[in-house]
Structure 1
Amino acid sequence: MLNRLREATAELHKKLEGENLANKIVDHSINLDEYKLLLYQNYLAYSTVEDQLLEFIPGQSQDKSEKLKNDLSEMGMTNLDSESLFEFSCKNEAEAIGAAYVIEGSAMGGMIIGKEVKKCDSLKNLPEQTFFNGTRDSIKGWNEFLKFLRSREFTEKEKELAANKAKETFKLFEKAFNVEFSNC
């Protein structure tokens, strides 16, 4: 399953990595407003996807959207609960696995980005960040997800459904990364 998901999403993953504000964290050129926008864009995507996983993957955490909400709140952005700009649903466990692959896998990049946040001059005065925190703790969900995948076998149909939903999830993130504050 994991190989199928990687292969199916490799092109979208690479494209998305090059098209969002996180690159400005890595090169230390991001300003505070851009950082807030990046957190908001991520919040929109994560909260949309995480809401759909609970029904099909018991114990799936909503910690990423909660961490983003906390960081945004610390910067004065509140009333995020009503935000939902995207249509997205999972109809079965296989689709939920595909969506979870994207959000749990993002923790690896998020950990690297988190280490760079503290090196950005414009972000030095931020309170301690919970989403882009740069700690290994942020990949616990990924490790649990891998353990779950390895614990069972999947049919070709399940692999196909999961791969298609993973691609759809990457496209949802792409839409989120195009949202501007003026669109909201």
Structure 2
Amino acid sequence: MLNSLREATERLHRELEKENLANKITDHSISLEEYKLLMLQNHVAYSVVEDQLFKILDIYSPSKTQLIEEDLKSLNLEPVTCGHIRFEIFNKAEAMGAAYVILGSAMGGFIIGREMKNCESLKDLPGQQFYSEDREGVKNWNNFTKTLKNASFTEEEVQMAQQKAIETFQIFSIAYKTEVPVY
């Protein structure tokens, strides 16, 4: 399952990394306004997916949405949602595909968290929860991959998981193209 999810989403993953503002953190060129926009866009994507994911799986805590909301509060921003984004998870196989994307983001989030201190425009922010050097997200990812490796899935379940992982990446792509007001 793990390898099939990786192969099915590899291209989308690379494209998504290019099209969102997080790369401006890794090259240290992000402005505070861009960071705020990125966090609002993250909230859109993670809240849509996690809302559905938690209906099927109880796999980790705290949720990425909760961490983003804490950061938004520290930035004096209100969380936003986008009612035009439709996403549903109907079974455990689909949930595994969505969780692959959500939990897999911990690795990038850890790296981005390390780079934030090198961004001049972000140096005065209070400690951030979502992009941080906390290893809890990495531990959740490692536990998830062990679960995938130790479970057996039918070919149909693997295909459902792949499709939902692809749809999850597409949700992120939509969110990162969404213009949300930064007040």
Q: Shorter-normalised TM-score: what interval?
A: over 0.9
Runs of at least 5 residues in structure 1 that lack an aligned partner in the other structure: none
Cα distance between partner residues in 2 of 1:128 and 1:182: 23
> Which shows bigger deviation, 2-11 or 58-67?
58-67
The corresponding residue for 1:99 is 98
1:174 is aligned to: 173
Q: 1:55-99 deviations in whole A, cap 9, x for unaligned?
A: 222344352110000001111012x2x623311010111111100
Alignment of 1:156 onto 2:137: no
Q: Which residue of 1 is the match for residue 9 of structure 2?
A: 9
SS class of match (1:177): helix
The question of whether the paired residues in 2 share the 8 Å contact of 1:115 and 1:134 is answered with yes
Identity of aligned residues (%): 51
The root-mean-square deviation of aligned C-alpha atoms, in Å, is 1.5
Q: Distance between the aligned counterparts of 2:12 and 2:123, measured in 1?
A: 32
Partner amino acid, structure 2, of 1:36: K
Deviations 1:120-172 (A, max 9, x none): 00000000010101232231221121122123100000000000000000000
TM-score (normalised: structure 2): 0.94
Query: Which deviates more from structure 2 when the two are superposed, residues 83-92 or residues 155-164?
Result: 83-92
Letter in 1 for 2:97: G
> What is the rounded CA distance, in whole Å, between the counterparts of 2:13 and 2:59 in structure 1?
26
Name stretches of at least 5 consecutive residues in structure 2 with no aligned partner.
none
Checking the alignment, whether the CA contact within 8 Å between 1:47 and 1:62 is kept in structure 2 is no
* 1:140 aligns to 2:170 (yes or no): no
- Give the Cα separation in 2 of the matches to 1:175 and 1:72: 20
Task: Indicate the residue corresponding to 1:84 in structure 2.
Answer: 82
TM-score by length of 1: 0.93
- Residue matched to 1:29: 29
CA distance in 2, matches of 1:62, 1:53: 13
SS in 2 for 1:18: helix
Q: Is the 8 A contact 1:54 1:60 kept in 2?
A: no
CA–CA distance in structure 2, aligned partners of residues 157 and 60 of structure 1: 25
Q: Which residue of 2 aligns with 1:40?
A: 40
**CA distance in 2 between partners of 1:62 and 1:99 (Å):** 17
**1:55 partner SS:** helix
Q: Name which of structure 1's ranges 26-35 and 139-148 shifts more when overlaid on structure 2.
A: 139-148
**C-alpha contact 2:39 2:68 (8 A) present in aligned 1:** yes
